[in-house]
Amino acid sequence: MAKLLIVDDEEKIRAVIREYAHFNHYETAEAEDGMQAVNMCLNEDFDLIIMDIMMPKLDGYAAVKEIKREKDIPVIMLSARGEEYDKLFGFELGIDDYVVKPFSPKELMARVAAVLARRNVASDGKLPAVLKSDGLVVNTDSRTVTVDGEKLDLTLKEYEILVYLMQNRNIALSRERMLQDIWGYDFFGDDRTIDTHIKNLRGNLGPYRDKISTVRGIGYRFED
């Protein structure tokens, strides 16, 4: 049974999410601010976090940043702020989805299921144990990436994009296809979400940044 951490300073919202989560057979824990969420994640294991942005003590963005330093836990951001900037900033931090308040609890649970399913596919042994291109090596069992033997500190989404590109090496992949295959269920975003992550990923790949080429008018290709 997957365990969710529900983080929101409004008890009524936590109660609604908790009710639907239990109906969908998820175990839950709750935090009422970002600082409490960080401390809980350091001491417990969770399969997914539903994180509000505007909270006392430590906001959702800062909490996600702190958590991602220690643990690779998928995050769905929940917020009344629906501006594009807020969404893109969240994805740059490595969140998996962004849901704007007011929200449908049923849709939220569908998004939870989609994120967990993608994570399970990435870790259930269906991927090759090692993806390699020259000095760029991805170990899918340990979910680590090295460049000429040096370990990289990638966000979850940067890692997923790199694995996806390397699995489909030498194939031109459209931004729309990447959004659908990597983000999955009814993703709201646009092309700039992909572009932002690719830019950050290239910056991390150092001498191998040019292995990810831009296909004009289409998207991207990993060139071996």
Tell me: do 13 and 70 sit in the same domain.
yes
Predicted pLDDT at 127: 57
Asked whether residue 117 falls in the same domain as residue 140, the answer is no
- Say whether pLDDT at 84 is over 80: no
Number of domains comprising the chain: 2
Contact 51, 74 (CB under 8 A): no
Residues 113 and 147 in one domain: no
Domain containing residue 201: 130-222
List pLDDT tens digits, range 146-173: 999 999 999 888 999 999 999 888 888 8
7 and 113 together in one domain: yes
pLDDT of residue 156: 85
- Domain with 28 in it: what CATH number? 3.40.50.2300
Cα gap 92→87, rounded to integer Å: 9
CA separation for the pair 106, 63 (Å, rounded): 25
**Residue 12: partners with Cβ closer than 8 Å, 6 or more residues away:** none
Q: Are residues 114 and 171 in the same domain?
A: no
Q: 102: cis peptide before it, omega within 30°?
A: yes
Q: Which of 88, 123, 158 is the last residue of a domain?
A: 123
- Three-state DSSP class for 79? strand
Q: Are residues 8 and 119 in the same domain?
A: yes
Q: Could you tell me if 106 and 184 lie in one domain?
A: no
Do 89 and 139 belong to one domain?
Answer: no
Supply the pTM of this predicted model.
0.60
For 20-79, write each residue's pLDDT tens digit: 999 989 999 999 999 999 999 999 999 999 999 999 889 999 999 999 888 889 999 998
pLDDT of residue 183 exceeding 80, the answer is: no
E strand spans, 53-202: 75-79, 97-100, 130-133, 136-139, 144-147, 150-151, 173-174
What is the pLDDT averaged over residues 92-120?
85
Strand order in the sheet with 130-133: 130-133, 136-139, 144-147, 150-151
The CATH number linked to 162 is: 1.10.10.10
Among residues 123, 152, 167, the one where a domain terminates is: 123
Q: Choose among 63, 14, 10: nearest CA to 39.
A: 63
Residues 101 and 194 both lie in one domain? no
Same domain for 136 and 103: no
